[in-house]
């Protein structure tokens, strides 16, 4: 019985690629040194899978930034602003597209389906000249082959690539991106021809958009694309891989009828209804790649349950046509439990990271082939039973408190307009108030202090002194820049979710459970294994210390319940909304303690609310109902004069704008600049927004420093669709990934732009008053 892995984490078990990338970007190492680190990681991954016994090992799932950007490079679809003149795309052009450079901004970045991974959005139009400009897929196949590993090269499928793209600047928003199919397929044919010549026998096309609600013409594009590729694919085994949800019935029919395709991969963890479609009829001559090992979470597989499913499928498709697989790429999981020697042993027995999932896939394949490892299966069954019966998982008081939430929608008693009036009387802010999102640069020295405190190399007193000094520095910088509402810079936090999870019950933490978010940015998601509660205040000490350093309003900074949920590895033994309500109650306690301590502006970030939106429209309403409700629970008890902010970033918000309004926050700061101000279009289309709103005026994920004029131009575009009295001026997101040499001039220009526009607005107001006086009828 054969086994397959959809994809594997790239960063390395201890983030080796992250450090190599950042060293290269900082000019401290060469391209050759970066490539050497990457090659070593690829070698390690391929050999690990081969040694474990995996038959179908993926290649070309490694990336220096993002696999969609890799496809853009392969197709030569470089936007003109990067001045690429043809030939093989090198690091300069590649990283300029991803990160921007001193003269031009980066391409838009958004969430990969409903994950916390981000991809670079292709910018396409009728004038794009596609050409075969990156041979990465073929080079990596050859590289693996030279090591004695025959891999399955993986490409983003042509239809998914186009459906994930957007019209380039200057191209009509209604431009039909699928009309470019005939222009990109010749490049795909060239890649396929080279892979065949190199000796590839299998090729995998990832077409995850097939799990979404597609229109008939979009489904027809799949039929057209693979019919056109059929002759080129002749002699190859072709796998179409889908993941993250059920495949709808019409998409399943389209998919299984594609010409030239040998195999279909399905997510049978998040797509359990797909099982019914397979049972209802699966092509007798095709392979089924059954994704029964979860690629998105870190819980050990229930091997007995998975084996039962596989045995049922074996009866449908036959022993020779069934392949055991992961439900999706393992990119979304941590790398290896071996690197967690300090993790609680009982909890550790419940887990499987990427390396362990590879072993699970192989164990299931061997069991189906009659070579069941009884000891391995027995240990797995014991761990499953231990988790179900462990007293540390369930807390009756928490369960009852969450159950009692039913029956109320938890809205503040006063409407937002009246609250804003009360808050303005207390805060006395200028029009176009300036603020930042929360974090300030995380310097090497700051990281050293946190690391030494965690390792008990410095005392708590020394740690508190160092963090207070950092907060004071950040406060002074903001006061010198004349920012209106300040933040303390979050120097005590390595990660916004991890920081809160460490102080909540029901969470466990890893030392090296890193997961790639985008580029070199990695996060270490907490593990929610049990019921959640807040034993004691989490941020009050630092927020009050920061407020004591300034007379300006200081934000209390919290992460919202939905974001904590969506950026954690969540328990899979109860509905996600139940866990979210538990977190909401814990954050509610913190909000009320901050208010009692004199903090008058409290930001509850919900950066990941949109990312958790289900991929199918029929499931949107239920998710948005409990997600928005969870946010409202956190702040329902505060006074009208306490201003509640929230923040969202790097997603398409336009389709959930009414749910954002329903959150009933006083102020929302929201990513806007990197997505070409797409957010503003909803207001142009007539959506009325009465709360405070700060669409980001510059992209913090690029080292580029925007000019005062550029920021002023952005603010003017906002003023064309939003009322002056509700508009805030702020960056797109937190500043932790930037350097002070970038942050200070960017913020200086931001404040200058806000002041410039205040002066212009005041002058216009005076001129208007003068005009009214002169034209007044006696």
**Binding-site residues for L-methionine:** 437-439, 490, 605
Q: Give yes or no for a contact between 768 and 505, defined as CB atoms under 8 angstroms apart.
A: no
Taking CA atoms, 337 is separated from 8, 353, 354, 357, 512, in Å, by 15, 6, 8, 10, 9
Residue of 720, 707, 710, 700 whose CA lies nearest to 748 = 707
Q: What is the dihedral sign for C-alpha 344, 346, 348, 351?
A: negative
Instruction: Concatenate the DSSP letters of all residues of 311-342 into one string.
Output: HHHHHHH-GGGEEEEESS-GGGS-S-GGG-TT
Going by C-alpha positions, the residue among 471, 470, 440 that lies closest to residue 547 is: 471
Tokens of 261: 């395709």
Hey, which residues are catalytic here?
701
CB 113 within 8 A of CB 616: no
SS (H, E, C) 711-749: HHHHHHHHHCCCCHHHECECCCCCCCCCCHHHHHHHHHH
In sequence order, what E strands does 629-724 have? Answer: 643-648, 667-670, 692-695
CA dihedral in degrees (493, 498, 504, 507; nearest 10)?
-160
Residue 644, helix vs strand vs coil: strand
The pairs formed by 125-129 with CB atoms below 8 angstroms and a separation of 24 or more are: 125/167, 125/168, 125/170, 125/171, 125/175, 126/171, 126/175, 126/179, 126/180, 128/77, 128/168, 128/180, 128/183, 129/76
Nearest to 674 by CA among 637, 702, 639, 694: 702
Give the DSSP letter string of 208-236.
Answer: GGGGS---HHHHHHHHHHHHHHHHHHTTS
Burial label, 235 (beta-carbon count in 10 A; 0-12, 13-18, 19+):
exposed
Q: Residue ranges for the binding site?
A: 18, 116, 437-439, 490, 521-522, 567, 605, 647, 649, 658, 662, 671, 733
User: Which of 4, 1, 22, 20 is CA-nearest to residue 12?
Assistant: 20
CB 384 within 8 A of CB 369: no
Token reading at 464: 């508190």
Q: Which ranges constitute the DSSP H helices of 269-395?
A: 274-280, 303-317, 345-349, 354-368, 374-389
Cβ burial of 237 (10 Å; 0-12, 13-18, 19+) is: middle
Residues with Cβ within 8 Å of residue 430, at least 6 apart in sequence: 484, 758
Query: Who's near 57: CB < 8 A, 6+ residues apart?
Result: 5, 46, 49, 50, 144, 149, 150, 151, 152
Phi/psi at 228 (5° precision): -65, -35
For 702, which DSSP code? S
- CB atoms closer than 10 angstroms to residue 435: 25
Closest CA to 40 of 16, 9, 65: 16
DSSP letter at 705? -
C-alpha to C-alpha distance for 455 and 511, rounded to whole angstroms:
12
Residue set of the binding site for 5-methyltetrahydropteroyltri-L-glutamate: 18, 116, 521-522, 567
Listed in sequence order, the residues at least 6 apart from 150 whose beta carbon sits closer than 8 Å to its beta carbon are 57, 144, 199, 201
Cα–Cα distance, 192 to 186 (Å, whole number): 10
């Amino acid at each position: 019985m054969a086994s397959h892995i959809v994809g594997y984490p790239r960063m390395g078990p201890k983030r080796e690629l992250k450090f190599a990338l950042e060293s290269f970007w900082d000019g401290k190492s060469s391209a050759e040194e970066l490539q050497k680190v990457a090659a070593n990681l690829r070698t390690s991954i391929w050999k690990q899978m081969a040694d474990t016994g995996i038959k179908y090992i993926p290649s070309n799932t490694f990336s220096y930034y993002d696999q969609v950007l890799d496809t853009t490079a392969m197709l030569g679809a470089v936007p003109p602003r990067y001045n690429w003149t043809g030939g093989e795309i090198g690091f300069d052009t590649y990283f300029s597209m991803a990160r921007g450079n001193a003269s031009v901004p980066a391409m838009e970045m958004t969430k990969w389906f409903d994950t916390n991974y981000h991809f670079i959005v292709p910018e396409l139009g009728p004038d794009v000249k596609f050409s075969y400009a990156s041979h990465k897929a073929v080079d990596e196949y050859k590289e693996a082959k030279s090591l004695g590993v025959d891999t399955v090269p993986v490409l983003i499928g042509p239809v998914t690539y186009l459906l994930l793209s957007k019209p380039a600047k200057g191209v009509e928003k209604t431009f039909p991106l699928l009309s470019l199919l005939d222009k990109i397929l010749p490049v795909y044919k060239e890649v396929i021809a080279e892979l065949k010549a190199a000796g590839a026998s299998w090729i995998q096309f990832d077409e995850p958009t097939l799990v979404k609600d597609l229109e008939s013409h979009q489904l027809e594009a799949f039929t057209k694309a693979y019919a056109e590729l059929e002759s080129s694919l002749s002699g190859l085994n072709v796998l179409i891989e889908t993941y993250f949800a059920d495949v709808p019935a019409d998409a399943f029919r389209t998919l299984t009828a594609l010409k030239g395709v040998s195999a279909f991969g399905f997510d049978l963890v998040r797509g359990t209804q797909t099982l019914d479609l397979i049972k209802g009829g699966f092509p007798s001559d095709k392979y089924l790649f059954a994704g029964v090992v979860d690629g998105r979470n870190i819980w050990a597989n229930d091997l007995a349950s998975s084996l039962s499913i596989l045995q049922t499928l074996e009866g449908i498709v036959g022993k020779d046509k069934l392949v055991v697989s992961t439900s999706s790429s393992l990119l979304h999981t941590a790398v290896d439990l071996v690197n967690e020697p300090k993790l609680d042993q009982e909890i550790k027995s419940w887990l499987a990271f990427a390396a362990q999932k590879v072993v699970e896939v192989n164990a299931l394949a061997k069991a189906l082939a009659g070579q069941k490892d009884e000891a391995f299966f027995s240990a797995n069954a014991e761990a499953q039973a231990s988790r179900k019966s462990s007293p540390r998982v369930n807390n009756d008081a928490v369960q009852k408190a969450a159950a009692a939430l039913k029956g109320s929608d938890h809205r503040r008693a006063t409407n937002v307009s009246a609250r804003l009036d009360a808050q303005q009387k207390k805060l006395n802010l200028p029009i176009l108030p300036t603020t930042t999102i929360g974090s300030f640069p995380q310097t090497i020295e700051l990281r050293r202090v946190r690391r030494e405190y965690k390792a008990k190399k410095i005392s708590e007193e020394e740690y508190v002194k160092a963090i207070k000094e950092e907060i004071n520095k950040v406060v002074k910088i903001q006061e010198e820049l004349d920012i209106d509402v300040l933040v303390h810079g979050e120097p005590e936090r390595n990660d916004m979710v991890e920081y809160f999870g460490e102080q909540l019950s029901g969470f466990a933490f890893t030392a090296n459970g890193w997961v790639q978010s985008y580029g070199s940015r990695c996060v270490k998601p907490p593990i929610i294994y049990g019921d959640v509660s807040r034993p004691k205040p989490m941020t009050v000490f630092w927020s009050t210390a920061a407020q004591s350093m300034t007379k300006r309003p200081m934000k209390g900074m919290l992460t919202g319940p939905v974001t904590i949920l969506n950026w954690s590895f969540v328990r899979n033994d109860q509905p996600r909304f139940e866990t979210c309500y538990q977190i909401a109650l814990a954050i509610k306690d913190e909000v009320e303690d901050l208010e009692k301590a004199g903090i008058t502006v409290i930001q509850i970030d919900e950066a990941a609310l949109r990312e958790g939106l289900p991929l199918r429209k029929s499931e949107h309403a239920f998710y948005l109902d409990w997600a928005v409700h969870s946010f409202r629970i956190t702040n329902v008890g505060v006074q009208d004069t306490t201003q509640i902010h929230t923040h969202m970033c790097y997603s398409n918000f336009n389709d959930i704008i009414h749910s954002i309004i329903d959150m009933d926050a006083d102020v929302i700061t929201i990513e806007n600049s990197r997505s070409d101000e797409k957010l503003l279009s909803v207001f142009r289309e007539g959506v009325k927004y009465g709360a405070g709103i700060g669409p980001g005026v510059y992209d913090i994920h690029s080292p580029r420093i925007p000019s005062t004029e550029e920021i002023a131009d952005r603010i003017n575009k906002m003023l064309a669709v939003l009322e002056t009295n509700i508009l805030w001026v702020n960056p797109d997101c937190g500043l932790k990934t930037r350097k002070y040499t970038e942050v200070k001039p960017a913020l200086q220009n931001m404040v200058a732009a806000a002041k410039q526009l205040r002066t212009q607005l005041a002058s216009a107001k005076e001129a208007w008053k003068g005009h009214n006086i002169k034209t007044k009828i006696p």
